[in-house]
């Protein structure tokens, strides 16, 4: 089997109902339980038609899950992940998690306060504390907000949507658009959890694979989805009456309105909404031109913007490793794995082909590897990310499809097997920040390792360093003790 068709072969294999665990060679492949095509939920914010239930698991699998969950807890508690650490950060005015107010002072509905505390949040982060009063003000105000990765933007806009919804009306009132399928599912999950004590509010997923009967009108007040399906539901299929939408959220807004991103679909949805509709744009990055464009399309926005030097997070330590070929990078990666214990890692490749190749090689070396790239079936993508979240695979090899928004707190290491470049080969600084931001969530420590494969790639790394004015050190054997503490 040629290596280029490896990813495709995996797809075919999995489509034939084999477990994703085929990629593991250390552990016995597991059956069932993770092949659901959408999030499971016991929460009261009912998910609707497309968000199918997980299959029943058998007893063995339940045991296994309990053991796994315990293990995950143990793993997590080894990360610098204790509540004290977060509390310290939330009292430090220089931290993006700093807050002076409590959630009570943000005047949330009691049901939502219950939801927030139920998720284990004690205090708001800086973005939550700043953005919520703007979003909840009457009359509604538009907002373009930037805040570092992992600082709680999701909760901020989810609370805004849940606050504005009128549960007495059974039609869509809030639309939330995410760039990827996985991110839409993840955000939906947060809506379900936050709204757990607000059962009148319902949620539906406008994502590929969620086929509704033609001619129906949605009853759910909140619609979360990806741009293509959302647009179809507003136009061709008319499941949603855009004129009734009160809140429109664009998560990862810069990529949603960038010409290289989903601009067309996002703008077309936006044009159908009433003038009074509140527009909320969130991201960790807004390149200057995109920032200007955002201000042109959003009338009279409130603005929360970071200074360049605030964009990077000090809790994520960045290194590079010098190599001269793909094979050397692979060897270096194996050496790192040989030298330190890594809780969970995400490895980013530039192309699907490299991702497929690398996953295959790592798997042959005995690692439990998951592969996620854009050409896979959505059900498989959902299953892969869920297994990774559950810690069933410790390594996720992926492409930029997972660069943004994905929140898996056990991820202690991000590896750029290929540095992020745009289609002209220039450094993609925004993607760099998003990728490394898959670790170091909400104040935890994280490690980013960049594999450099020659002079050209060294120049790209230098330009990234200069842009953020951040030193990226060469990884040295002397650093191993230090990085082990972060990674394990």
Could you list the residues that contact Mg ion (CB under 5 A)?
153-154, 405
101, burial (CB in 10 Å: exposed 0-12, middle 13-18, buried 19+): middle
* Nearer residue to ligand ATP within complex by CB, 11 or 254: 254
Sign of CA dihedral 357, 420, 184, 150: positive
Instruction: Report what 442 binds from Mg ion, ligand ATP, none; CB cut-off 5-8 Å by kind.
Output: ligand ATP
End-to-end CA distance of the chain: 35
d(CA 267, CA 273): 10
Contact 273, 297 (CB under 8 A): no
d(CA 90, CA 146): 18
Is 35 an interacting residue with respect to ligand ATP (CB under 6 A)?
Answer: no
CB of 224 to Mg ion, least distance (A): 13
* Nearer residue to Mg ion within complex by CB, 154 or 312: 154
- Cβ neighbors of 441 (< 8 A, separation 6 or more) are 149, 150, 407, 408, 409, 411
Q: Identify the H or E element spanning 111.
A: helix 110-118
CB of 125 to ligand ATP, least distance (A): 5
Which range touches ligand ATP (CB under 6 A), out of 116-124, 173-181, 205-213, 215-223? 116-124
* Nearer residue to ligand ATP within complex by CB, 141 or 193: 193
CB of 96 to Mg ion, least distance (A): 13
Instruction: Report what 379 binds from Mg ion, ligand ATP, none; CB cut-off 5-8 Å by kind.
Output: none
For ligand ATP, the binding residues in 155-184 under the rule CB under 6 A are 155
Out of 121, 291, 319, 468, the residue judged to bind ligand ATP by CB under 6 A: 121
Three-class DSSP category at 192 = helix
> How many residues touch ligand ATP (CB under 6 A)?
20
Is 153 an interacting residue with respect to ligand ATP (CB under 6 A)?
Answer: yes
Is 154 an interacting residue with respect to ligand ATP (CB under 6 A)?
Answer: yes
d(CA 238, CA 218): 9
Contact 100, 129 (CB under 8 A): yes
Q: Identify the H or E element spanning 294.
A: helix 288-297
For ligand ATP, the binding residues in 258-317 under the rule CB under 6 A are 284
CB of 262 to Mg ion, least distance (A): 16
**56: DSSP letter:** P
Is 202 an interacting residue with respect to ligand ATP (CB under 6 A)?
Answer: no
Instruction: Report what 152 binds from ligand ATP, Mg ion, none; CB cut-off 5-8 Å by kind.
Output: ligand ATP
d(CA 65, CA 61): 6
For ligand ATP, the binding residues in 416-475 under the rule CB under 6 A are 437, 441-442
Instruction: Report what 124 binds from Mg ion, ligand ATP, none; CB cut-off 5-8 Å by kind.
Output: ligand ATP
d(CA 326, CA 332): 10
Is 405 an interacting residue with respect to ligand ATP (CB under 6 A)?
Answer: yes
Instruction: Report what 189 binds from ligand ATP, Mg ion, none; CB cut-off 5-8 Å by kind.
Output: none
d(CA 154, CA 159): 8
Bond preceding residue 372 cis, omega within 30 of 0: no
Instruction: Report what 437 binds from Mg ion, ligand ATP, none; CB cut-off 5-8 Å by kind.
Output: ligand ATP
Instruction: Report what 242 binds from Mg ion, ligand ATP, none; CB cut-off 5-8 Å by kind.
Output: none
Out of 151, 278, 439, 450, the residue judged to bind ligand ATP by CB under 6 A: 151
CB atoms closer than 10 angstroms to residue 326: 17
Contact 483, 317 (CB under 8 A): yes
Contact code string over 362-401 relative to ligand ATP, x by CB under 6 A: ----------------------------------------
Q: Identify the H or E element spanning 188.
A: helix 181-194
CB of 147 to Mg ion, least distance (A): 9
Q: Residue 450 pairs with which residues in a beta bridge?
A: 320, 416
CB of 431 to Mg ion, least distance (A): 14
* Nearer residue to ligand ATP within complex by CB, 160 or 362: 160
Is 124 an interacting residue with respect to ligand ATP (CB under 6 A)?
Answer: yes
Is 409 an interacting residue with respect to ligand ATP (CB under 6 A)?
Answer: yes
Instruction: Report what 121 binds from Mg ion, ligand ATP, none; CB cut-off 5-8 Å by kind.
Output: ligand ATP
* Beta-carbon-side half-sphere exposure of residue 138 (alpha carbons within 13 Å): 3
Helix 227-234 and helix 263-272: axis angle, to 10°?
Answer: 30
d(CA 198, CA 178): 23
* Beta-carbon-side half-sphere exposure of residue 476 (alpha carbons within 13 Å): 5
- Give the residues lining the site for ligand ATP (CB under 6 A): 121, 123-125, 128, 147, 149-155, 284, 405, 407, 409, 437, 441-442
């Amino acid at each position: 089997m040629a290596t280029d068709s490896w990813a495709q072969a995996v797809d075919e294999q999995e489509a034939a109902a084999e477990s994703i665990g085929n990629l593991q060679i250390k552990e016995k492949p597991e059956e069932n339980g993770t092949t659901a095509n959408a999030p499971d939920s016991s929460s009261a914010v009912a998910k609707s038609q497309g968000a199918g239930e997980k299959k029943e698991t058998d007893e063995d699998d339940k045991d296994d899950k309990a053991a796994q969950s315990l293990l995950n807890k143990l793993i997590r508690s080894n990360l610098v992940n204790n509540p004290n650490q977060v509390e310290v950060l939330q009292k430090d005015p220089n931290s993006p998690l700093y807050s002076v107010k409590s959630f009570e002072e943000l005047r949330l509905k009691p049901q939502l306060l219950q939801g927030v505390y139920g998720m284990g949040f004690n205090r708001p982060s800086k973005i939550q504390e700043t953005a919520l009063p703007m979003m909840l003000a009457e009359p509604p105000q538009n907002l373009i907000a930037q805040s570092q990765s992992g600082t709680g933007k999701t909760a901020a806009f989810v609370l805004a949507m849940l606050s504005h919804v009128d549960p007495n009306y059974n039609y869509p009132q809030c639309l939330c658009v995410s760039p990827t399928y996985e991110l839409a599912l993840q955000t939906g999950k947060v809506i379900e959890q936050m709204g757990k004590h607000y059962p009148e509010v319902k949620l539906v997923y406008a994502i590929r694979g969620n086929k509704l009967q033609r001619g129906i009108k949605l009853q759910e007040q909140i619609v979360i989805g990806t741009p293509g399906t959302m647009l179809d539901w507003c136009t061709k299929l008319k499941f949603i009456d855009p004129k009734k939408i009160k809140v429109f959220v664009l998560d990862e807004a810069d990529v949603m309105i960038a010409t290289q991103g989903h601009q067309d679909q996002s703008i077309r949805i936006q044009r159908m909404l009433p003038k009074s509709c509140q527009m909320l744009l969130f991201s960790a990055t807004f390149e200057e031109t995109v920032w200007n464009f955002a201000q042109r399309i959003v009338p009279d926005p409130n603005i929360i913007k970071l200074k360049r030097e605030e964009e990077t997070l000090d809790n994520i330590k960045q290194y590079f490793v010098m190599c001269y070929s793909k094979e050397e990078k692979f060897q270096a990666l194996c050496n790192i794995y040989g030298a330190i214990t890594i809780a969970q890692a995400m490895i980013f490749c530039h192309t699907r082909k490299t991702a497929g190749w690398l996953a295959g090689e790592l798997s042959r070396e005995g690692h439990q590897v998951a592969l996620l790239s854009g050409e896979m079936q959505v059900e498989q993508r959902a299953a892969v990310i869920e297994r990774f979240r559950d810690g069933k695979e410790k390594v996720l090899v992926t492409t930029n499809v997972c660069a943004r928004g994905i929140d898996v707190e056990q991820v202690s290491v991000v590896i750029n097997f290929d540095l992020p470049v745009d289609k002209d080969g220039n450094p993609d600084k925004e993607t760099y920040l998003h990728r490394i931001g898959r670790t170091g969530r909400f104040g935890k420590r994280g490690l980013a390792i960049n594999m450099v494969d020659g002079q050209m790639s060294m120049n790209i790394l230098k330009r990234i360093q200069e842009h953020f004015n951040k030193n990226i050190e060469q990884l040295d054997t002397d650093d191993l003790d230090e990085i082990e503490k972060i990674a394990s």
